[in-house]
Amino acid sequence: MDSSFDEFYMQRCLQLAKLGAGYVAPNPMVGAVLVHQGRIIGEGYHRLYGQAHAEVNCVRSVTAEDQHLISLSTMYVSLEPCAHHGKTPPCAALIVSQRIPEVVIGCVDTFSAVSGKGISILENAGITVRTGVLEKECRELNKRFFTYHEQQRPYIILKWAQDPSGYMATADGAPIRLSNIFTDRLVHRWRSEEAGILVGTGTAVNDNPRLNNRLWTGKDPVRLVIDRTLKTPRHFHLWQGDIPTLFFTEGTSSKEGATETVQLNFEQPVLPQVLQQLYEHRILSVIVEGGPYLLQRFIEAGLWDEARVITGTNAIPDGRKAPALPHALLTEEIFLEGDSIRYYINKS
């Protein structure tokens, strides 16, 4: 088949996969389409963690009158079909059982339980398999998933707001609004798309933040707080409610309801310990919304993948400067009612 047709259908897989953002972690986002002689007869995506995968939803979507075409069609899927029994049966086995003769895959799954095994199942069943169609785009879509499995840590996004002079906090640490209401909604959309949100002691104590998703649809991220001596007052928002919350502390580990304290050794570098705990808790991505000190620690350690910097129009007469971003590549800048939002990636 003409490669342009392959890319057309794979692009549709990517469009579908993105609909699962914020709902499928720690699984990857995946989209699938079933094509018979240039006509899409079925399509699906992974909608919710623990429920049916993209390939299953794709096959289920085929109408009764088109059922007989399944065994004559090509399936396009953005990620290698799974080969292991997890929350659901393996998708590679489903494809074989449906006698689908050809499968086109965007990128190989590097997760050890899958990596290459799904393709082997298909090929051993006599199915023609082609890979690498829009591979870069397919990997980019699941950069959180791949970072988690390949580097054994979450995908890290740094986020902060600053004034036009580069100040992000007042000298005395008092809260101040720097972004407008439209940007606030964008930030909450970001929260809905990540597995966790992290702050340090200063932000937890000075701002009494909720760290939830109030201004957008979707789930709340797991709240994460580095608080060595548990200075965050017990009546503050972070101790309340049913949102899963982890406090990283030098005290004893414990769990009460949705809140958990995790003991770390603060005489040793803290961030690697935090990231190890997040890996063990299967948190694939974290947006860091802490103050200058915490953000600077991530930057100095090189432990970041993206940064999103909001520059508002309100000015702070004097205060604490936002950190610098060495090895950063500016990829995009957008404007929302006067606020600038710059997107960077770590190119080191």
Token pair 């992290």 in the structure block, residue? 198
Task: Say if residues 13 and 106 touch (Cβ distance below 8 Å).
Answer: yes
d(CA 231, CA 167): 25
For 194-226, b/e burial (b = at least 16 CB within 10 A) is: bbbbbbbbbbbbebebebbbeebeeebbbbbbb
80 part of the active site: no
* Phi and psi, residue 309, nearest 5°: -115, 120
Instruction: Specify the DSSP class assigned to residue 281.
Output: T
Q: Which amino acid is at 115?
A: S
Q: Which residues are annotated as a binding site for NADP(+)?
A: 161, 207
Q: Residue 244's closest CA among 298, 282, 271?
A: 282
Token pair 């009612």 in the structure block, residue? 337
Q: How many CB atoms lie within 10 A of CB 49?
A: 12
Q: Which residues are annotated as a binding site for substrate?
A: 191, 203, 211, 214, 289
d(CA 182, CA 257): 34
Query: Could you tell me the two tokens for 136?
Result: 């870069």
Considering the candidates 7, 43, 55, 140, report the single residue annotated as catalytic. Answer: 55
Q: Which residues are annotated as a binding site?
A: 53, 82, 91, 161, 191, 203, 207, 211, 214, 289
d(CA 141, CA 145): 9
d(CA 45, CA 37): 21
Token pair 């940007």 in the structure block, residue? 183
Q: How many CB atoms lie within 10 A of CB 95?
A: 26
Task: Say if residues 47 and 25 touch (Cβ distance below 8 Å).
Answer: no
Q: Which residues are catalytic?
A: 55
